Chains A and B, each alone.
Chain A
Amino acid sequence: MFSYQFDWSVVTSGQYFEWLVSGLKITLELSVWSIIFSFLLGLIIAVMRMSNVRPILWFSHAYLEFFRNTPLLVQIFFWYFGSYQILPKAINDWLNSVNFEFAAAVIALTIYTSAFIAEDIRSGVRSIPKEQMEAARSSGFSYLRSMRYIILPQAVRLTIPPLINQFLNVTKNSSLAMTIGVAEITYQARQVESYTFKGFESFTAATLVYLGLSLVIAGLMTLYNRRVLSPMMGGK
């Protein structure tokens, strides 16, 4: 009944297996850098978004709305192809001599995700009673220090579940980097398909990789929350 002949050997050994492994490596690198940078940038934007200084507030607001509401694919093309039009020639020449595809993908993923993370952190902060901020300020902490030592450590803990979501999204969204020629796992799976026509096998392998990565990320975050953050908060 089935006219399709399954052949799993193409993805479990040999040259095509190596392609998939190299793709996995790039996906990991893309995800890890984007997660680190987008978390840091998201923190900064969240703090700016809650500032009392008007221009900072406006800037962060515009940033959030702009990057949350444009498609990631368009942003990737913008950083990769569009940046050429505005940058001076010397910088373009330098960018073209290094691995700019990878960098453009990380920049796009970071900025796109940081907008979502900032909103998640902000809602975490808003759930901390504002008396804590008042108490911190009246004890002589500056605004930034109150944030740093009192508010954010609690808010970040509350933000863990939505953050897991964002980190999982980064990992999966990194597949869009293939459109500018970054040889991550989806790119390699497609490559294996076009060489062997074993699309079902290669994309199954890629799917399992994403599933595995997502489970590992979610597991690590939960573990961190339980082992490090909860005891720090005096939780159960």
Chain B
Amino acid sequence: MKRTAVLVLAVLFVAALCGAAAAADTLADAKKKGVFVCGVKDSTPGFGYIDEKSRDIVGYDVDFCQAIAKKMGVKLELKSVTSASRIPQLIAGNIDMIAATMTKTADRAKQIDFSVTYFFTGQKFITRKGEVKKLQDLAGKRIGTAKGSTSEQNVKKALPTSTVLSFDDYPQAFLALQQGKVAAVTTDESILANILAKAPDKTKYEIPNIQISDEPYGLGMRKGDTNLVAFVNKTVLEMEKRGEAKKIFDKWFGPKGMAYHMARTFKITDKKESWEK
């Protein structure tokens, strides 16, 4: 008897979860509740990190969330996520959208929907100065990165003989580089650049011009959440047209931005990736 009751409760609970996830019109829900919940990184300098003075999460990703929430006319709420937790968090309904340095891939697109590419970069390495000139210099070496990221998969493909050590996040991977435990840290250039910018002994390291992949970032939303996807795409493309997107880029990565500068080699367009329909 008791067992049946527990079983019924369990089924109801699961059904409720599925129901919440299936009946998704996040845009309407957010407008009704007056709050839009964005999942961002909190330790990735430049994109989402905790500002030393204000103790708030700030960055390129945060500014895009802010602009989208403003356009909706609702309050923005930020939740911190990691590379490994962001998709499960979105699917479970804990967050409404992922803005967390996430590369658009065909595999991920089976689980979630992506916006247009709002940031474009490529995967590179940080190494000790002068040690690495070409990719093959890293063959057979130990290379650090973060768990659950595309960086991990790309480096295994590009350097099959190397040993990949995956840490929980990039600051630990960089600490391992500083202590000589790995020969390089690999991930998207934009993230590397900002790690380097904040490193205390930055003159000892460099980012050699070796790129092993293209990394188009997309904002992630629940599968089939078409209203929200359309709204976000429209908003982001408008931001590009009005020059607001470029302003946000310059704020974080431009000449007057943070310590490490990058050129904006991309424009936000509605061009699809090759694997997208």
A contact residues vs B (CB 8 Å cutoff)? 1-3, 81, 84, 92-93, 96, 100-101, 178-181, 187, 190-191, 193-197, 199
Contact = CB atoms under 8 A, between A and B. Distances in A.
By secondary structure, the A interface counts as: helix
Contact of B180 (A1, A92, A181): A92
B179 interface: yes
B1 to A, nearest CB: 24
A3 B22 contact: yes
B152 A194 contact: yes
Interface centre among A93, A187, A191 (most CB of B within 10 A): A191
Given A81-B176, A195-B107, A199-B88, 10 more contacts: A1-B18, A3-B21, A84-B179, A96-B181, A101-B165, A181-B165, A181-B166, A193-B84, A193-B148, A197-B107
Given A179-B167, A194-B84, A81 B18 contact: no
A50 to B, nearest CB: 39
A77 to B, nearest CB: 9
A197 B153 CA distance: 14
Contacts of A194: 83-84, 147-149, 152-153
Contacts of B111: 197
A84 to B, nearest CB: 4
B110 interface: yes
Interface of B: 14-15, 18, 21-22, 83-84, 87-88, 107-108, 110-111, 144, 147-149, 152-153, 165-168, 172, 175-176, 179-181
17 contacts: A2-B18, A81-B172, A81-B175, A81-B176, A84-B179, A92-B179, A96-B180, A181-B144, A181-B165, A187-B166, A190-B148, A191-B147, A191-B166, A193-B84, A194-B147, A195-B153, A197-B111
Given A100-B181, A195-B153, A197-B107, A190 B21 contact: no
A179 B15 CA distance: 34
Contacts of B179: 81, 84, 92, 96
A1 B22 CA distance: 9
A63 to B, nearest CB: 26
Contacts of A81: 172, 175-176, 179
B110 A197 contact: yes
A190 B148 CA distance: 7
Contacts of B88: 199
A180 B153 contact: no
A102 to B, nearest CB: 11
A179 B148 contact: no
Ranked nearest first, the 4 interchain pairs of A and B with the lowest CB-CB distance are: A181-B165, A194-B148, A84-B179, A96-B180
Given A93-B180, A96-B179, A96-B181, A190 B18 contact: no
Of the listed residues B87, B149, B166, B167, the one surrounded by the most CB atoms of chain A closer than 10 A to its CB is B166
Contact of B87 (A179, A181, A196, A197): A197
Contacts of B22: 3
Contacts of A100: 181
Contacts of B172: 81
Nearest to B224: A3
A199 B111 CA distance: 12
Nearest to B142: A96
A210 to B, nearest CB: 19
A200 B14 CA distance: 14
A179 B165 CA distance: 10
B180 to A, nearest CB: 5
A187 B148 CA distance: 10
B219 to A, nearest CB: 18
A229 B15 CA distance: 52
Contacts of B18: 1-3
Centre residue among A100, A101, A178, A197 by max chain B CB count within 10 A: A197
Nearest to A196: B107
Contacts of B14: 2
Nearest to A99: B163
Contacts of B165: 101, 181
Nearest to B112: A197
Contacts of A1: 15, 18
A22 to B, nearest CB: 13
A2 B18 CA distance: 7
B10 to A, nearest CB: 13
- Which of B18, B153, B167, B179 has the most chain A CB atoms closer than 10 A to its own CB? B179
